[in-house]
Structure 1
Amino acid sequence: MRLRVTQNQKKYDLSFMPVTQLAGTNVAVKSFIIDSLCKHFSSDKYKEYEECYIDNITLDGEVPGRKQWESTRITNKEDLVNALLLGKTSIVTKCIKQYVTGFDCQNELLKIDEILLHVFDEINKAIFRDKKIELQYSQEDLFSMIQKTDIKTTEGYDLHTLDTGKLLDLFFDIIEKQQLLIPEKRLYVFENIDHIITSTKYHKVIERCLNLSEKFNVWFVFTVSLRNYIYFNSSVITGINVINENIFTFPEYERILSFVMDNYPSEKEWKEEELNDAIRSTVHSIGVNNSIVQPQYDVILKLINESLGIKNMWDKMPTMPEIQYLIGKNLV
C-alpha cells in the first residue's frame, strides 16, 4: 500500500505495510507524518490551527475514511501505563466492558446485582426509613464500581515499577485479547521507541507485531533513528522508509542484494546476514545530502576508548577498492 502525506506544497510518498518502520534523522518530517496519521484516524475534531491535517493523507490514491482505523499512539512509558490502567479510552477498559456485557459474565453479574440491590434496600431501611430520600442503585453502577478498581502487578505493585520491556509485553497481550473480543481494524503508532528500549528488545517487538498482524487486522508504525534500531530482513524490507532530506523506500530484498552485488567496488559474495548487518548500521544515513565520511572521528573515538582501556578493532579490514571508492578515486 502506498501512503502519501501532503504538507503545504510538499508531498511525502512512502510504503505503508502492516509493520512499517520510519527510519532516518529528519525528525520534523517523521513527526508530521505521524501527527497526520494519528489525527486523521481519530474522533477528534480539527482545531483552527490544524487545517493542514485535514484530508492530507491518501492510501493508494484515495483519502481513507477517518474510521477506517482506530489509532493508538505510544510515545513513552507513561503512555503504555495509561493504556493498561482503567480509564475512559484505555484498551483494558474496552476489553473489560466488552467482557462484562457478554453472555459468559451475565449470570455472575446478575447475582452481584441482586446482592447489591438487597444491600442498598437494607441501608435505606436502616438510615432513611420514613424519609423523603434514599440511596439509589442501578445496574449501570456496577460497571462504574469495576472501573474504580486499581490495576496492579500480581505482587501488588504499581505498574510504573515494571520496566518498559515488560510493559510492552503486557500491552501486546492486551492487544491480542482486544482483537479476540472486539475484532476491528486498528493502528498502533510507536514514536521514537528506540529511546525507551534496547535494540535487542526492539527486534523482539517487531517480531511480535509481525505475528499479531498475521493473525489480526492490526497495523503498526514505528519511528526510529538510532544506530542498529531497524528490523531488516526479506519479510519486512518493503515496509522500511528512510526519511532524511530525501525519502528512500526499500524495494524487495532481491533487488537490494542484486544492486549491491553488481555495484560493489570489489568482488565480494554477500551473505544475507552480513548484508543485513551492513544495512542496520547505515540505514539512518541513507538519503542525507552531502553525507561526509570522516575517518578522523573514528580515530578520535579510538583514542578516547584506548585511554579508558577499551579496545577498538576493524570488524573486517577494508580493501583498497573499498577505500578508493569512499574517497572518490578510481584505481589505476
Structure 2
Amino acid sequence: MLSVIAVFSVCFPSLCFLFPQAALKKTPLFDFHRQQGGKMVEFSGWSLPVQYKDSHISSHMHTREHCSIFDVSHMLQTKVHGRDRVKFMESLVVADIAELKDNQFKAAGFDVDLEFLDEALIALQGPSMSQVLQKGLKDDLRKLTFMTSTLATVFGVPNCRVTRCGYTGEDGVEISVPKGRVVELTEKLLTNGEVKLAGLGARDSLRLEAGLCLYGNDIDETTTPVDASLVWTIGKRRRQTKDFPGANIIVPQIKAKADRKRVGLVSSGPPVRQHTPILSPDGTVIGEVTSGCPSPCLKKNVAMGYVDAAFAKNGTNIQVEVRKKAVPAIVSKMPFVQTNYYSG
C-alpha cells in the first residue's frame, strides 16, 4: 500500500513578516505549550515556542546530555504512493530513491498520488532517547537504525510513524502522531525525568553545532549540492543518468569544482550572525555568513557560510566583520560537535 513517506521541512524565516499575528497557524500542541510556560514567537507563519522556563543554554545542554521534545508539527508531512512513486520522487531530488530498502522509500511502478497528512509531529532527541522510548514500544528499538522508520503503537497511542532521524546531531526519532492524541503522548514522555521540552532557540543552536543546513538560510534554490558541500546526497546512478533537477549544471560542477563553498567557521569575541561579511586576511570580502551563534558546548562562536573556493581549506585563517570590526576566525571542519546517529 503506502510505500513512500516524506517529511518536507520548508522553513522561510525571512517571510515571517508576511503573516500578521492574528493569522498565525497553531500546532495541535499550541495550548499545551502555553500551559507549560512556552514563550511563543512567530516562525514561518506559525506560533511556536522559542524556549520554556529553562534558559536556551540549559535546554541546549539538556538535549546533548539527556533528551528533549521538540514540536515540529509545522513541517509538512506527505504520503506518496502509487506505481509511479519512485519516478515522481526522483523528479524532485538528487538521491537514488529506487535503491533504498523498505521503510527507506523503496518502490517501483507507473502511477502516483500525493496525500497531505493532517497529523502532529514531535521529535525526541538526545542520548537517552532510546531508553526513554523503548519503555513505550513492543518492538526492539535497536532494530531501527538511522533514517529508517516503522509504524508502531507508542505508549498506548496507535498509528504512529516512528523515524530514527532528527535535526540535532544526537540519536533521536521523529514521531508522526494522530493530532488528537499528541498531547497525551507528549505528557507520557514527560513523566520520565530524562525528558524536557525544548524550543526553537535550542533547535537552531543544536543543528548548527551539528553542521546541518537550514533551508532559506544556508541553502536555497540558487545553491547547488557542490556549493553546499552536499555532493554525498547525489546518488551514483543519478550522476550517470543525469536525470535530476539541475543536472546540466551540477554534474559538470562535481568534476570542475565550484567557485564557492560552504564552510564552517570558529571565532572568539562577539557573536557572528547571518549576513556577516567574511574577509580575507587583507580585508577583501570573500563571502558571507549564513548562520551563526555562540556554541554552548564549545564556548566559542560557530558559524557556517560561503567563501571563495581558494579560502575553503580547513585551518585557513580568515576574518569576519562584526560591528564594523575585523575579528579573526578559522575555517573549521563540520560538524563542530561530534554527531551520534545510531547505525546499529
Q: TM-score, normalized by length of structure 1?
A: 0.28
Q: Which has the larger radius of gyration?
A: 1
Which structure ranks higher in relative contact order (CA pairs < 8 Å, sequence separation ≥ 6)?
Answer: 1
From the two aligned structures, give the one with the greater strand fraction: 2
